[in-house]
Structure 1
Amino acid sequence: MTTAMERMHELVALIEQHNYNYYTLDNPTVSDQEYDALYDELVKLERETGTALEDSPTQRVGGDILKGFDPHKHRARLWSLDKAQDMEDLIAWNTRVRKAITDYNTKNPTLEPLPEPSYAVELKFDGLTLNLTYDSGRLVQASTRGNGVVGEGILAQVKTIKSIPLSIPFTDGIIEVQGEGIMNLSVLEAYNKTAAEPLKNARNAAAGALRNQNPRITAERKLNAFFYNVGFADGVDFDSHQEMIQFLRDNRFKVNPYISYWQTIEEVQTELERITSIRNDLDFLIDGAVVKLTDMRTREALGYTDKFPRWAVAFKFEAEETTTILESVSWEVGRTGKITPVARVEAVELAGVTVSNCTLNNIGDIERKNLKHALGTRVFIRRSNDVIPEILGKADEEEIGAEIVSPTSCPACGTPLEQRGAHLFCNNKLGCRPQTVGRITHFASRDAMDIESFSIMTAEQLFDECEVRDPADLYELDYDRLIKLDRFGDKKAKKLLDALEQSKSRSLASFLFALGIPNTGKATTKMLADHFGNLASIRQAEVEELIGLPDVGGIVAESIYNFFRDPVSAASVDRMLALGIKAESEQAVPARTDSIFSGKTVVLTGTLTAMGRDEAAKKLEALGAKISGSVSKKTDIVVAGESAGSKLTKARDLGITVIDDENEFIRLLNE
Structure 2
Amino acid sequence: MQLSEKLDRMKSLIEEINKHNYYYYTLDQPVISDADYDILYDELVALEKETGVLLPESPTQRVGGELLKGFTEHKHLVRLWSLDKAQNLDDLMAWHARVRKLVEEHRARNPEEELPPLSYVLELKYDGLTLNLTYEDGLLVQAATRGNGVVGEGILPQVKTIRSIPLQIPYDQGVLEVQGEGIMNLSVLEEYNKTAAEPLKNARNAAAGALRNLNPKVTAERRLDAFIYNVGYSGSLQFADHREMVDFLKSNHFKVNPYILYMDTIEEVAQEIERISEMRFDLDYLIDGAVVKIADMRTRELLGYTDKFPRWAIAYKFEAEETTTVLKGVTWDVGRTGKLTPVATVEPVELAGVTVQKCTLNNMGDIERKNLKYALGTLVIIRRSNDVIPEILGKVSDDRDGEEIVVPTICPACGTELEQRGAHLFCGNRLGCKPQLIARITHYASRDAMDIETFSVMTAEQLYEELDLRDPADLYDLTFEDLIGLERFGEKKATNLLEAIDKSKTRGLSSFLFALGIPNTGKTTTKVLSDHFGSLEKVMAASKEELMALPDIGEIVADSIVTFFRDETMRRSIERMLESGVRPAAEEKAEPASIDSMFAGKTIVLTGTLHSMSRDEAAKKLERLGAKVTGSVSKKTDMVIAGENAGSKLAKAKELGLQILDDEEELLRLLDGI
Q: Report the TM-score range of the alignment, normalised by the length of the smaller protein.
A: 0.5 to 0.7
Give 3-state SS (helix, strand or coil) of 2:306's partner.
helix
Instruction: Find the counterpart in structure 1 of residue 51 from structure 2.
Output: 49
Instruction: Find the counterpart in structure 2 of residue 376 from structure 1.
Output: 377
Instruction: Find the counterpart in structure 1 of residue 223 from structure 2.
Output: 222
Aligned counterparts, 1:324-343, within 5 A: 324=326, 326-335=327-336, 337-343=338-344
The answer to whether 1:131 aligns with 2:117 is no
Give 3-state SS (helix, strand or coil) of 1:345's partner.
strand
The answer to whether 1:579 aligns with 2:576 is no
1:133/1:176 contact within 8 Å kept: yes
- 2-structure distance, mates of 1:508, 1:520: 14
1:413/1:433 contact within 8 Å kept: yes
Aligned counterparts, 1:537-552, within 5 A: none
- 1-structure distance, mates of 2:173, 2:382: 51
Cα–Cα, structure 1 residues 429 and 198, in superposed 2: closer, same or farther, change >3 Å? Answer: closer
Instruction: Find the counterpart in structure 2 of residue 596 from structure 1.
Output: none
Cα–Cα, structure 1 residues 30 and 486, in superposed 2: closer, same or farther, change >3 Å? Answer: closer
1:451/1:499 contact within 8 Å kept: yes
Cα–Cα, structure 1 residues 438 and 327, in superposed 2: closer, same or farther, change >3 Å? Answer: same
Cα–Cα, structure 1 residues 365 and 194, in superposed 2: closer, same or farther, change >3 Å? Answer: closer
Instruction: Find the counterpart in structure 2 of residue 91 from structure 1.
Output: 90
Q: Deviation of residue 46 (structure 1)?
A: 0.6
- 2-structure distance, mates of 1:587, 1:52: 59
Compare 504-513 and 355-364 and name the one that shifted more: 504-513
Give 3-state SS (helix, strand or coil) of 1:341's partner.
strand
1:293-345 Cα distance to aligned partner (Å, 9 max, x none): 784675632527xxx99974452255241232x23210113446543211223
1:607-628 Cα distance to aligned partner (Å, 9 max, x none): xxxxxxxxxxxxxxxxxxxxxx
Cα–Cα, structure 1 residues 190 and 101, in superposed 2: closer, same or farther, change >3 Å? Answer: same
- 1-structure distance, mates of 2:445, 2:234: 33
1:81-115 Cα distance to aligned partner (Å, 9 max, x none): 78766x3xx42476489679989x99xx9999xx9
Instruction: Find the counterpart in structure 1 of residue 661 from structure 2.
Output: none
1:228/1:255 contact within 8 Å kept: yes
Aligned counterparts, 1:381-396, within 5 A: 381-384=382-385, 386=387, 388-396=389-397
Match for residue 567 of structure 1 among 553, 560, 564: 564
Give 3-state SS (helix, strand or coil) of 1:276's partner.
helix
- 1-structure distance, mates of 2:9, 2:208: 37
Match for residue 305 of structure 2 among 282, 300, 303: 300
- 1-structure distance, mates of 2:245, 2:449: 34
Q: Deviation of residue 51 (structure 1)?
A: 2.8
- 2-structure distance, mates of 1:220, 1:389: 31
Instruction: Find the counterpart in structure 2 of residue 658 from structure 1.
Output: none
1:360-416 Cα distance to aligned partner (Å, 9 max, x none): 233232111111122233333345455754333223212343321233454334556
- 2-structure distance, mates of 1:271, 1:23: 28
After superposition, the CA RMSD in angstroms is 5.9
Aligned counterparts, 1:516-535, within 5 A: none
Compare 132-141 and 94-103 and name the one that shifted more: 94-103
Instruction: Find the counterpart in structure 1 of residue 62 from structure 2.
Output: 60
**TM-score normalised by the chain length of structure 2:** 0.63
1:327/1:345 contact within 8 Å kept: yes
Instruction: Find the counterpart in structure 2 of residue 322 from structure 1.
Output: 324
Instruction: Find the counterpart in structure 1 of residue 413 from structure 2.
Output: 412
Q: Structure 1: give runs of 5+ residues left out of the alignment.
A: 548-553, 593-671
The answer to whether 1:181 aligns with 2:183 is yes
- 1-structure distance, mates of 2:480, 2:48: 55
Aligned counterparts, 1:5-44, within 5 A: 5=7, 7-9=9-11, 11-26=13-28, 38-44=40-46
> Which structure: larger Rg?
2
1:474-494 Cα distance to aligned partner (Å, 9 max, x none): 345344554565655655433
Q: Deviation of residue 61 (structure 1)?
A: 2.5
Cα–Cα, structure 1 residues 117 and 208, in superposed 2: closer, same or farther, change >3 Å? Answer: same
1:142/1:154 contact within 8 Å kept: yes
Aligned counterparts, 1:147-162, within 5 A: 155-162=156-163
Instruction: Find the counterpart in structure 2 of residue 607 from structure 1.
Output: none
Give 3-state SS (helix, strand or coil) of 1:301's partner.
coil
1:496-553 Cα distance to aligned partner (Å, 9 max, x none): 21223345567899879877899999xx879979x97997799899899867xxxxxx
- 2-structure distance, mates of 1:492, 1:407: 40
- 2-structure distance, mates of 1:410, 1:147: 42
Compare 47-56 and 486-495 and name the one that shifted more: 486-495
1:328/1:344 contact within 8 Å kept: yes
- 2-structure distance, mates of 1:546, 1:251: 62
Aligned residue identity for 1:23: Y
Q: What is the percentage of aligned positions where both structures have the same residue? A: 54
Instruction: Find the counterpart in structure 2 of residue 659 from structure 1.
Output: none
- 2-structure distance, mates of 1:170, 1:30: 28
- 1-structure distance, mates of 2:100, 2:559: 36
Give 3-state SS (helix, strand or coil) of 1:257's partner.
coil
Q: Deviation of residue 24 (structure 1)?
A: 2.9
The answer to whether 1:284 aligns with 2:285 is yes
Aligned residue identity for 2:70: D
Give 3-state SS (helix, strand or coil) of 1:165's partner.
coil
Instruction: Find the counterpart in structure 2 of residue 345 from structure 1.
Output: 346
Q: Deviation of residue 23 (structure 1)?
A: 2.8
Aligned residue identity for 1:495: N
Cα–Cα, structure 1 residues 130 and 535, in superposed 2: closer, same or farther, change >3 Å? Answer: farther
The answer to whether 1:272 aligns with 2:273 is yes
Cα–Cα, structure 1 residues 157 and 370, in superposed 2: closer, same or farther, change >3 Å? Answer: same
Give 3-state SS (helix, strand or coil) of 1:327's partner.
strand
Compare 450-459 and 469-478 and name the one that shifted more: 469-478
1:518/1:559 contact within 8 Å kept: no
2:323/2:381 contact within 8 Å kept: yes
Cα–Cα, structure 1 residues 111 and 581, in superposed 2: closer, same or farther, change >3 Å? Answer: farther
Q: Deviation of residue 42 (structure 1)?
A: 2.5
Compare 404-413 and 292-301 and name the one that shifted more: 292-301
Aligned counterparts, 1:113-262, within 5 A: 121-126=122-127, 128-132=128-132, 134=134, 136=136, 139=140, 155-167=156-168, 169=171, 177-183=179-185, 185=187, 206=207, 210=211, 215-216=216-217, 218-228=219-229, 242=242, 252-260=253-261
Aligned residue identity for 1:456: V
Q: Deviation of residue 451 (structure 1)?
A: 3.6
Instruction: Find the counterpart in structure 1 of residue 608 from structure 2.
Output: none
1:513/1:525 contact within 8 Å kept: no
Instruction: Find the counterpart in structure 2 of residue 648 from structure 1.
Output: none
Q: Structure 2: give runs of 5+ residues left out of the alignment.
A: 596-674
Q: How many residues align structurally?
A: 565
1:123/1:258 contact within 8 Å kept: yes
Compare 497-506 and 269-278 and name the one that shifted more: 497-506
- 1-structure distance, mates of 2:147, 2:221: 24
Aligned residue identity for 1:371: L
The answer to whether 1:399 aligns with 2:404 is no
- 2-structure distance, mates of 1:443, 1:239: 53
Cα–Cα, structure 1 residues 499 and 148, in superposed 2: closer, same or farther, change >3 Å? Answer: farther
Q: Comparing both chains, which one has the higher relative contact order based on Cα–Cα distances under 8 Å and sequence gaps of 6 or more? A: 1
Q: Deviation of residue 53 (structure 1)?
A: 2.3
Aligned residue identity for 1:567: F
Q: Deviation of residue 160 (structure 1)?
A: 1.7
Compare 403-412 and 531-540 and name the one that shifted more: 531-540
Cα–Cα, structure 1 residues 536 and 16, in superposed 2: closer, same or farther, change >3 Å? Answer: farther
Aligned residue identity for 1:226: F
**TM-score normalised by the chain length of structure 1:** 0.63
Compare 358-367 and 133-142 and name the one that shifted more: 133-142
Aligned residue identity for 2:125: K
1:149-192 Cα distance to aligned partner (Å, 9 max, x none): 9988754443221112335547756958451322253x567778
- 1-structure distance, mates of 2:425, 2:230: 43
Give 3-state SS (helix, strand or coil) of 2:55's partner.
coil
Aligned counterparts, 1:618-633, within 5 A: none
- 2-structure distance, mates of 1:237, 1:573: 63
